[in-house]
Amino acid sequence: MPDYTATELMIAAAAHELRDGTTLAVGTGLPCAAAMLAQRTHAPNLIIVFEAGGVAPLLPTMPISVGDSTTFHKALMATSMADVMQFCQRGMIDATFLSGAQIDAFGNLNSTMIGADYREPKVRLPGSGGANDLASFCWKTLIVMKHDAKKFVAKLDFLTTPGYLTGPGAREAAGLPADTGPDRVITDRCVLNFHPDTKRMRVMSLHPGNTLDDVRQATGFELAVADELGVTPAPTAHELHLLRTQVDPGRFLLGRDG
């Protein structure tokens, strides 16, 4: 049996997608853990931006919200949400890392409600926050979330955050900048990307111990497969040490696996 959990693998895989010297708008939870791990390994100059106004902090611990005081720790700038969104709209943010309650084949996200009736939903969720703005204007969107058929759905109960909307050309037709959109989806089963022509999600690599059938059974829509299907690298001993002792020593995220 591996000496890491599915959550630890997912965070490490997400961290591997981040590049040194780039700007990243991030929220709390798994995306923040991935950014913190990347800063402590291969991307020390990753510039993390929080929508509440913290720009380029050196996070000492896992923040509990985007307005937590730690999101300003040793930051280059302590500004406002209006400024951060303006940076995004001006094309100054390379990527954003988001999550959601539901995702469809084109990378559209729902974080608003579950159910058929908006006024009487089964579950009322937190809503967009800055996710819609960030996914609309950052150059690429990275998504991290658990993988099951209730989350990976053929049709969203509510469209909160745009991916490729209905397919090729739809973002541009809606007035969003060209060459933007979802780039990767990292789950506890695999890493996915999007076909450059159809804009539909496809499996890029399988996590150790998972099969293509496992992934397809956990997905509510038909999945394509990349021409070269890979295996996701397992987290290294050093990455696991950092995750457990520096990124999330309280195990607020790591303790929730399974």
- What is the predicted pLDDT for the residue at 67? 85
pLDDT of residue 256: 53
Report the mean per-residue pLDDT for the chain: 94
CATH number at residue 134: 3.40.1080.10
Asked whether residue 221 is domain-assigned, the answer is: yes
Q: Is residue 38 part of a domain?
A: yes
Residue 255, in any domain of the structure: no
Q: Is 50 exceeded by the pLDDT of residue 60?
A: yes
Q: d(Cα 27, Cα 59) in Å, to the nearest integer?
A: 13
Cβ atoms within 10 A of the Cβ of 208, count? 11
Q: Decide if 254 is inside a domain.
A: no
Look at residue 151 and tell me if it is in a domain.
yes
Domain assignment of residue 162, yes or no: yes
Does residue 169 fall inside a structural domain? Answer: yes
The answer to whether the beta carbons of residues 142 and 183 sit under 8 Å apart is yes
In a domain, 95, yes or no: yes
Catalytic site residues? 51
The answer to whether residue 189 scores a pLDDT higher than 90 is yes
To which H or E segment does residue 109 belong?
Answer: strand 109-110
Using DSSP, state whether 77 is helix, strand or coil: strand
- Which residues does 176 contact at the CB level (< 8 Å), separation at least 6? 136, 137, 162
User: Cα(207)–Cα(191) distance, rounded to whole angstroms?
Assistant: 8
Q: 85 lies in which domain range?
A: 6-246
- According to DSSP, the β-strands at 77-78 and 54-55 are antiparallel
Question: pLDDT exceeding 90 applies to what percent of the chain?
Answer: 88
pTM of the complete model = 0.92
Between the CA of residue 99 and those of 96, 159, 174, what are the distances in Å?
A: 10, 13, 22
Split into its structural domains, the chain has a count of: 1
Cα–Cα distance measured from residue 184 to residue 20, given in angstroms and rounded to the nearest whole number:
17
pLDDT digits (tens, 9 = 90+) for 109-164: 999 999 999 999 999 999 998 899 999 999 999 999 999 999 999 999 999 999 99
